[in-house]
Chains A and B, each alone.
Chain A
Amino acid sequence: MSSRILPNFDLLVPNSTSEAVNLLAHYQERAAILAGGTDLIVAMKMNYESEILISVSELDGLDYIDFDPSSGLHIGAKATVSQILDNAEVKQYYPALWQAANVFATPQIRTAATLAGNVLRGSPAGDCSCALLALGARIVLQSTEGKREVAIEDFWTGYNQNARQSNELAIEIIVDAPQSATGSAFHRMTRVNEDLAKLNGSVRLDMDGKICKSARIAMGCVGPTTLRLPKTEKLLQNEEITPELLAHVTDMVPTEISPIDDKRSTAEYRLMVSGVVIKRLIEQAATAAN
């Protein structure tokens, strides 16, 4: 283990998606996929070994961010967090994602780190991941057998684990289209800005005047994966957002999460603040919607 020297591996640099999936079909779990490297390279310096790295650095055309009002936001697997931050349509239509990108790590890391990498890493503390779970997203996976889409709520199967098969390449993330009055917000809590979150949360509300038609609520650092809070979401459905309702929300949130003590915070603290974080995010998202 050294923070300076990487173990040996074989590097493969395919030029096209089809070449990449052919390589994956051949090497399967012997190969790891390298994009921004901000997780993988650090892991390899610490304890992770892979015989083969397949770099996406020279894959053509996966660095796009395209917004379409009916089909949503299409983000190529190579698009970086820094590109998310520089995109005016993301800022306007997906404020939760933009706010997550804005506090994500440091500028140097945002230059390299990809949004897809954040989702594939499957960390329960992923900031952009939390925003994407609230906004509603699908991960597009490609193999030699074709493409499939996995809804983000089904994608994380456990701590640092996901539904990608070893012969598949994530090529795109699609974020659901906003409705006529959709608002969203993201917030995270840290000791200092550069830290990973001790708790993060994100809310998307589809409003009709003062009535919340439907809500999607996500919280991270409170379970093995970033969680959705279905009971809290149900409380809001077809209801007017009143102080009384928000008081119910504040009580409900801690019943849906299972935080632990770790080096960033305690279970007790996380339980105590979780309700207030979501309450404030609902207020913020409702304002953004109207």
Chain B
Amino acid sequence: MKERAIELTVNGIALNITVPVHQTLLDTLREQLGFTDTKYGCGTGECGACSVIIDDHESLCSCMALASTLNGRSITTAAGLASNGLNAVQQAFIDQTAVQCGYCTPGMVVKSTSLLRKNPNPSEEEIRKELEGNICRCTGYDSIVKAVQQAAQSFPESDTQWDNAVELKAGANS
């Protein structure tokens, strides 16, 4: 087949969409559904700008995953973390000035949230190891590590904080 109808939950919204089989999840999110918060960096899994959370906990490079093979899975992007205002990681990135050019930030926020959901009390070493797959060319990482440490004080998340996405983006489900 060249196209496939799949069920994909994006930021808490269950979608029935048809995707070209050779479309990466990144392109499905950005081009087809309008979730442009997820960034295209290297396209080969080195930089982590395209990171999304899959099935609520694990992080995944959306540039190397085919949407057509993710039938029934649940995807959360950086925008989907802000269900009821910014989540603790997003707020901490602002508080610690962990954002400069901002291109890596959605991936960083997503990866950090995934880390804190699996390990709500990480050491600095664990934070640095978990963020190995996310490259930032501006900050030198120190402020990012501080932001994750600040956010850790608000984890584990309460049930209501679990991502139940932002409003359906224009173009979604079309």
Interface residues of A (CB under 8 A from B): 2-4, 6-13, 34, 37-38, 41-42, 45, 53, 55, 57-58, 82, 105-109, 111-112, 193-194
Q: Give the docked Cα–Cα distance between A57 and B8 (Å).
A: 14
Q: Give the docked Cα–Cα distance between A105 and B23 (Å).
A: 24
The answer on a CB contact under 8 Å between A6 and B24 is: yes
Q: Give the docked Cα–Cα distance between A107 and B107 (Å).
A: 12
- Could you tell me the distance in whole angstroms from the C-beta of A55 to the nearest C-beta in chain B? 5
B-chain residues with CB within 8 Å of residue A8 when the two chains form the complex = 2, 22
Q: How many A-B residue pairs have CB under 8 A?
A: 100
Interface residues of B (CB under 8 A from A): 1-2, 4, 21-24, 27, 40, 42-46, 48, 51, 54, 58-61, 63-66, 68-71, 111, 114-115, 129-130, 132-133
- Could you tell me the distance in whole angstroms from the C-beta of B170 to the nearest C-beta in chain A? 23
Please give me the residue from chain B that is nearest to A42 by CB atom.
Answer: B44
B-chain residues with CB within 8 Å of residue A55 when the two chains form the complex = 66, 68-69
Q: Give the docked Cα–Cα distance between A37 and B70 (Å).
A: 12
A-chain residues with CB within 8 Å of residue B40 when the two chains form the complex = 4
- Could you tell me the distance in whole angstroms from the C-beta of B74 to the nearest C-beta in chain A? 13
Q: Give the docked Cα–Cα distance between A194 and B42 (Å).
A: 14
The answer on a CB contact under 8 Å between A7 and B69 is: no
The answer on a CB contact under 8 Å between A193 and B71 is: no
The answer on a CB contact under 8 Å between A112 and B68 is: no
Please give me the residue from chain A that is nearest to B131 by CB atom.
Answer: A107
Please give me the residue from chain B that is nearest to A11 by CB atom.
Answer: B21
Partner of A106, one of B23, B24, B68, B133: B133
The answer on a CB contact under 8 Å between B43 and A57 is: no
The answer on a CB contact under 8 Å between B60 and A11 is: no
Please give me the residue from chain B that is nearest to A83 by CB atom.
Answer: B58
Please give me the residue from chain B that is nearest to A2 by CB atom.
Answer: B43
Q: A11-B68, A34-B66, A107-B115 provided; 11 other pairs, C-beta below 8 A?
A: A4-B40, A9-B21, A12-B1, A37-B66, A37-B69, A45-B44, A55-B66, A58-B69, A106-B133, A109-B64, A194-B132
The answer on a CB contact under 8 Å between B1 and A41 is: no
- Could you tell me the distance in whole angstroms from the C-beta of A266 to the nearest C-beta in chain B? 23
- Could you tell me the distance in whole angstroms from the C-beta of B140 to the nearest C-beta in chain A? 15
Partner of B133, one of A4, A10, A41, A109: A109
